[in-house]
Amino acid sequence: MAHEITVPRLGWTMEEGTFGEWLKEVGERVEVGDPLFVLESDKATTDVEAVDSGILRLPPDTPQQGDPVSVGMVLAYLVEEGEPDPWTTGPQPRSEKKMGESDLTRAPVLPEEKKILTPNPRTPSISPRAARVATELGVAWATLQGSGRGGRIVERDIRNAVQPHTTEDFISMKVDLRGKVSLVTGAARGIGQAIADRLAANGSRVIYTDIDAKGAKEAVSRSEGCTSLAMDVTNSGEIEEVVAQVVRDYGSLDILVNNAGVNTLEHRVPIDEFPLEEWERLLSVDLTGLYLVSRAGARVMRKQGSGRIINIASIVGLVPLRLQCAFVAAKAGAINLTKAMALELGPHGILVNGIAPGSTLTEGTRQLFYGEGGKFHESVQKLLDHIPLGRP
**Average pLDDT of span 95-99:** 39
**Helix residue spans in the chain (DSSP H):** 19-26, 86-89, 128-137, 155-162, 167-171, 190-201, 213-220, 236-250, 276-283, 289-304, 325-345, 363-370, 380-384
Q: Distances in Å between the alpha carbon of 191 and those of 185, 207, 266, 314, 355?
A: 10, 15, 21, 12, 12
pLDDT for 135: 78
Assess whether pLDDT exceeds 80 at residue 196.
Answer: yes
> Any idea what DSSP says for residue 109?
P
pLDDT at 14: 37
The tens digit of pLDDT for each residue in 347-368 reads 999 999 999 987 777 766 666 6
Kindly state the DSSP code that residue 284 receives in the 8-state scheme: I
pLDDT greater than 70 at residue 84: no
Give me the phi and psi of 45, to 5 degrees please.
-130, 165
pTM across the whole model? 0.56
pLDDT at 46 over 90: no
Q: What is the pLDDT of residue 134?
A: 80
Domain ranges within the chain, ordered by starting residue: 4-122, 124-164, 177-358
Q: Which CATH architecture has domain 177-358?
A: 3-Layer(aba) Sandwich (3.40)
Calpha distance 206→212 (Å, rounded): 17
CA 330 to chain centre: 25
Whether pLDDT at 142 is above 80: no
Q: What is the mean pLDDT of residues 231-250?
A: 96
**Does pLDDT of 113 surpass 50?**
no
DSSP state, 41?
A: T
Query: What's the chain's length in residues?
Result: 392
Check pLDDT > 80 for residue 166. no
Confidence bin at 381 (pLDDT 50/70/90): low
Q: What is the DSSP letter of 6?
A: E
Count CB-CB contacts under 10 A for residue 209.
33
What CATH number belongs to 124-164?
Answer: 4.10.320.10
The DSSP result for 233-255, as a single string, is TT-HHHHHHHHHHHHHHHS---E
Is 107:42 a contact under the CB 8 Å cutoff? yes
What would the pLDDT profile of 272-324 be if each residue is shown by its tens digit?
Answer: 999 999 999 999 999 999 999 999 999 999 999 999 999 999 988 898 888 88
168 falls in which pLDDT band (50, 70, 90)? low
C-alpha distance across the termini of the chain, in Å: 74
Q: If you average pLDDT over residues 34-44, what whole number do you get?
A: 37
Q: What is the pLDDT of residue 5?
A: 38
pLDDT of residue 380: 65
Average per-residue pLDDT in the chain? 70
Between 75 and 149, residue with greater pLDDT: 149
Tens of pLDDT, residue by residue over 6-21, are 433 333 333 333 334 4
Report the C-alpha gap between 67 and 134 in whole angstroms.
Answer: 11
pLDDT band for position 223 (cuts 50, 70, 90)? confident
For the chain, what percent of residues have pLDDT higher than 70? Answer: 56
